[in-house]
Structures are given as structure tokens and as C-alpha cells.
Amino acid sequence: MRASAHGPVHAPKHAPKHAPIVARRLVPLLALALNACLLGPDYVRPNVEVPATYRFASGEMLEVADTVWWEQFQEPVLDQLIATALERNRDVKIAAARIDEFAAQVQITRSAFFPQVGAGFTASRQRVSQIGGLPLQPGIDPVYNAFSPTLSATLNLDVFGRTRRLTEAARADLAATEEGRRETILTLVAAVAGSYINLRSLDRQLEIAQATAASRADSVRVFTLRFSHGVVSQMELAQSQSEYEAAQATIPVIEMQIGQQEDALSVLLAQNPGPIPRGRELRAIALPAVPAGVPSDLLSRRPDLLAAEQNFIAENARIGAARALYFPDLSVSGMIGSASAVFSSLLTGPAYIWSVGGAIAQPLFTGGNIAGQVHLAEAREQEALYTYLDTVQKALQQVEDALIALQKSQGELVAQGRQVDALAVYARLARKRYDAGYTSYIEVLDAERSLFNAQLTHTQTESAVLTYYVSLYKAMGGGWVTHAERMTMPAPASGASATEAAQTQAGAPALAGAASR
């Protein structure tokens, strides 16, 4: 009994007599654990030198980095492809499973904070010898029963912070894994957009090759008639046939690339290789705005940078966990139960048993094991630090590369457009001059060959400009990843179980709408 401001406070009438004793012994030890020291360095974010502005920043940059940027292409088919990929892509699902894995590891690690409680019950029936070294007294039955229910608890006291440091590291690993999933989403969206743009570019190149081959086929027919009437020489006919076959040879190559690109895009959509639906022509796809931002924003917007920082935090915490191995490992344990030869008397006072104790384990000589673990943790912490700093610099490089590529490729595209127009005039006039007898057919071949190559190059540059927009949005990261992340977790249909929804998704057919080229 103890006094209080409100009068005496009595222990519960039915509390076992040993309870106050156990409490008086455990409370000081628990208080010691709660006020224990914490070894190892506390995390401090590294001083990262980043420029105030981007070197190749443009005055046309707008604050759109946090928007669903792919919708700026104004291509509904691309929007649907990205939505399908976010919902079904296997890499995203693997990344999500890894989050569950590391969340479970956090739970496992921090469980050491709490008492490990177990219960047991033993029952036996046995007979002892009546003529052994200690003979039984007359009248005592040599056969007897033994019953013993017990409740035990063990608590490791985290006096030197090993468990806390390991939990800190596990939480940082979990945060890095979550950022890894966001990085997977960022990469997936960029890959789908880039693949679709490249696919439409190949479609356009195929159209150019087919149109050129058809035009040259007409020329071959004309030259064949002229040769049969002695108007042109066999050399001119052979030249015409050669250019036709050259154009014809590019068609299967482009068709092969289209098929391979469709297969690659199908895998991103988590479906078997097959045709991909098409929407707008390449030149009809709208150009998005150039996203604005400052280099320091990358530290909080790019998942790979956030993941690298969390890896550094984890390795920093593991230094403290390794250093704690030098110090004693303290634990307390307790047991309460009863033991009786008669089952009906197990809950009576005389049958009660209890014990409480503590243990200290202090390493004395480990042959350099602990020192090696400390050095290993410190080396990994340095590795994680320099990996983080290197990741920051590479992120800045990727943004700068995308900005300069976007600026210069747009100028290149304009110049190539003027070149195509000029070569079209050149080819038309060369054909007229040849028909009028003012020049040889070689001039016509040169003009048409140059026009064909220029048209293909111009189409490839159109694709490159759009792809550089994709690369820039990927390099800058942004809040759009959060929106895309929500798209990866569709809610099950009303009335359907989660299992049914998963089965429906796993067996979902390919995207509706057969591919049209």
C-alpha cells in the first residue's frame, strides 16, 4: 500500500503476492533502457553544391513539371497506353512487393523493442522406482502426475542503441524502396511515351519509303518502255532499277523495326507481343511546354536522389549499430506460473511459481570481428555518401543535356524542313530538265536520292525533339509521379473481391483496337 493525495491506494485483492516484487525490479531496468545512450553519428544531410540556375535554361520554361505532362501531347492513344502500363506493368508490381518486403523488415527489426512473451503448459504422468536409491515411504503411490502452466517474458534492454539504430536503418531502407518504386514509375512512363513516339516515327518513315519505292517503280516502267523503243540506254535503265531496289530494300528494315518496337511496347504493357493501336500522325502530336525549375528542386523531386539519400541514412545508422557491439548486451527475463501434481490445485496459492533475472553478455575477444564490422559499416557509409553526391551530379547533367538537346534539335528540325522543301524543288526541276534533254539522268537520281534521305532524317529529328521533351520531364522528376503512382493501384470493381479483381487483371485482354498502320 502507498499513500497518495487522494488517500491510500490498495493493491487489487486478487493480485498475486509476487507481482509488486517483479514490478519493482523491472521498472528501474525499463527506465534505464528508455534513457540509454545512442551510439554512432546522427544523420546530417551532406552539403551538396548545386548551381542557382540551369546552364541551358530557356525563357520559354513554364511551371508544369508537377502536371500530368504526357497529356500535353494531346494524343489519347498514348494516354491510354500509359494508363494500361501503370496498371499492369510487372516491374511496378515487383517494386510494390519490395515495399511490402521492407515494411515487414522494419516490423521484424523494431520487434526487439518489446518483450518477447510466451506461454507453455506441460503435463506428465510417471512412476518412480520403489527400490531405488531413495525408496519411497510406505503408503506413497509411486505413480504421480505433474502439471505446470507458465507465462514467460524476455526483454533485451537497448541500452547502447543497437536496436534503435537498426530500426532507423530499416526505416531508411523502406523509404529508399518506396522511392525506388516511384523511380520505376517515372522510368516506365518515359519508356512508354518514348516507345510510342519512336513507333509513330517508324510508321512515317515506312510511308516515305513506300511512296518513294512506288514513285521509282513508275520510273522503272517508263524507262523500260523507253529502252525497248531505243530512247534511253541500258545504263539509264539500270540506274533507275538500282534506285528502285534501294528504296525497296529499306521497307523490310523499317517493318522489322516497327515489329520489334511493338513487341517492346507490348512488354511494357505486360501483354504478349502484338500490334499496338495508333492515334495521331507524328507531325500532329502537340509539343508540350518546357518545364521550369531550379537545380535545388531535384533534391526533393527526383526519386533516385531521394532513394540515394535514404541509402546514405541507412548506412550511417548501421555505424552506430556496429559500434554498439563493443558494449554489453543486457536482457531481463521473468516467468510466472504454477506447478502441481493435482490439476484442480493449479490455481491455488501454494502452487504459484515465479522467477525474475537478468543477463549481461560482454564480448572480450572476437579476433577483430567487431572492429571489422565497424570498419565495414563506415566504408559502406562513405560509399553511400559518394553515390549520393554522384547521383546528384548526374541528375544535373541529365537535365542540362535534355535542355540543350531540346533547344538545338528544334533548330536542326527547322533547318532540315527547309532542306526537304529545297530538295523537293530540286528533284522536280531536275526531272523537268532531264525530260527536256538539258541534263543527264544522274542529276535526277542525285536529287531524288538526296530528297529521300532528307525526308527520313527529318522524320527522325521530329521524333528526337519529342523524345527530348520526354527525357526532360523524366530528368526533372516532379509531383506528377505521385499522380501516376495512384494510377498503379486501381480500386476493385464494386462487389468483386480483391482476388477476383487480380484474376481479371491478370487475364485482361490486350488493348482494344487493332493496330492500324
Q: Which has more confidence, 148 or 195?
A: 195
* Residue 136: pLDDT band with limits 50, 70, 90: low
Report pLDDT digits (tens) over 57-82. 776 667 766 788 999 999 999 999 99
| Mean pLDDT of all residues in 460-471 | 95
pLDDT in tens, 249-307: 999 999 999 999 999 999 999 999 999 999 999 999 999 888 888 888 888 889 999 99
For the record, the C-alpha cell of 285 comes out as 502530336
pLDDT higher at 34 or 41: 41
Number of H helices, E strands in the chain: 11, 6
- The identity of residue 137, as a single letter, is Q
- Position 59 scores a pLDDT of 67
Laid out side by side, the sheet with 143-157 consists of: 116-127, 143-157, 329-338, 352-361
Distance (Å, whole) CA 484 – CA 181 = 11
Contact (Cβ atoms closer than 8 angstroms) between residue 399 and residue 472: yes
Walk me through the domains of the chain, giving residue ranges and CATH numbers. 47-117+160-329+375-506 (1.20.1600.10)
pLDDT number for residue 30? 52
CA 462 to CA 419: how far, in whole Å?
14
Among 329, 335, 296, which Cα is nearest to 116's? 335
Q: Which pLDDT score, from 0 to 100, does residue 164 have?
A: 92
478: left (phi over 0), alpha (psi -120 to 50) or beta: left
352-361 and 290-291 strand pairing: unpaired
pLDDT at residue 439 is higher than 90: no
Percentage of the chain beyond pLDDT 90 is 59
Q: What is the pLDDT of residue 236?
A: 86
Q: Which of 206-210, 214-218, 347-351, 510-514 has the highest mean pLDDT?
A: 206-210
C-alpha cell at 10: 490498495
The answer to whether residue 405 scores a pLDDT higher than 90 is yes
Cell of 504: 481479371
pLDDT tens per residue across span 155-187: 998 889 999 999 999 999 999 999 999 999 999
**What Å distances lie between residue 423 and 59, 209, 364, 447, CA to CA?**
34, 16, 86, 7
**Residues β-bridged to residue 338:** 352
Distance CA 307, CA 369 (A): 30
Which range, 16-25, 226-235, 399-408, 501-510, has the best average confidence (pLDDT)?
Answer: 399-408
Other CB atoms within a 10 A radius of the CB of residue 243 amount to 22
pTM for this predicted structure:
0.80
In the chain the first and final C-alpha atoms are separated, in Å, by 90
Burial bucket for residue 314 (CB in 10 Å: 0-12, 13-18, 19+)? buried
Q: What is the mean pLDDT of the chain?
A: 85
Band the pLDDT of 207: cuts 50, 70, 90.
very high
